[in-house]
Amino acid sequence: MRDCFYGKTWIYWAQLLILGPLGGFSLIMGILFWTGTFTDVHGKARPEAGPPMTIIGLFLLLVALVAVFNIVKRISPILRCYREGLELRIIGMNSFGDLSEPIKHFIGIFIVLWGIISLRSFRVHRSFIPWSKFAGAEVTGIPMVYCLRLYIHDETSRSDPPIAELVWISQTDLSDAPHRIAELLNFFAGHPDYRNQLTSCRPQM
């Protein structure tokens, strides 16, 4: 039975392989035009063409760098079930936020820009949820933009029962189907005997 789940990487490989070469080409061409090394078809220097191409090249290379970061960080599971609880790793900033997934897709370019400027795209947020505090998982949204939502028991919550949403993870960040992950998490939460067969997160003495 699966006890760990990985993040999707193919979209980041696509970004790296497409935007990396384009960014490098644009940056080099921009510098050559800016310095007057390259001229237009009429043999005239066009230094004014250099800054825009250089800026575009730098931006594309930064997006490619974010892709490399995501590929490397997704080598390890982003969600793993232990005997004692769940270990969660959220990479970057795209899985957090109060905005719905369709809205985030609509303003995606601004999220990318803000993530690079604030360096949030290069962060890894780790958390551990003991089974005693885990309140369940569910999948919401519409096909192609499903979200996996994890809940915890929270005595300060005004809901009945007192639970609160810890985090939601977009389907685009998961290599497995969100419904399958939610099913397994809820199964482990309700069956301690099966949890005892999982690996312990405590160091062996």
Q: What is the per-residue pLDDT across 166-203, written as a single tens digit (0 to 9) for each?
A: 777 888 788 899 999 999 999 999 999 999 889 888 76
What's the pLDDT score for residue 159?
60
What's the pLDDT score for residue 141?
84
What's the pLDDT score for residue 19?
94
pLDDT per residue as tens digits for the range 88-131: 988 876 444 444 555 555 556 677 777 778 787 888 888 899 99
Q: Is 81 helix (H, G, I), strand (E, B) or coil?
A: strand
pTM for the complete prediction? 0.77
H-type helices in the chain, by residue range? 10-34, 50-73, 101-106, 108-118, 178-190, 192-195
Assigned token pair, 70: 């995501």
Average pLDDT of the segment spanning 71-85? 92
Q: What are phi and psi of 132, to 5 degrees?
A: -65, -20
186, 69 contact by CB (below 8 A) = no
When the pLDDT of each residue in the chain is averaged and rounded to a whole number, the result is 84
Assigned token pair, 47: 């230094």
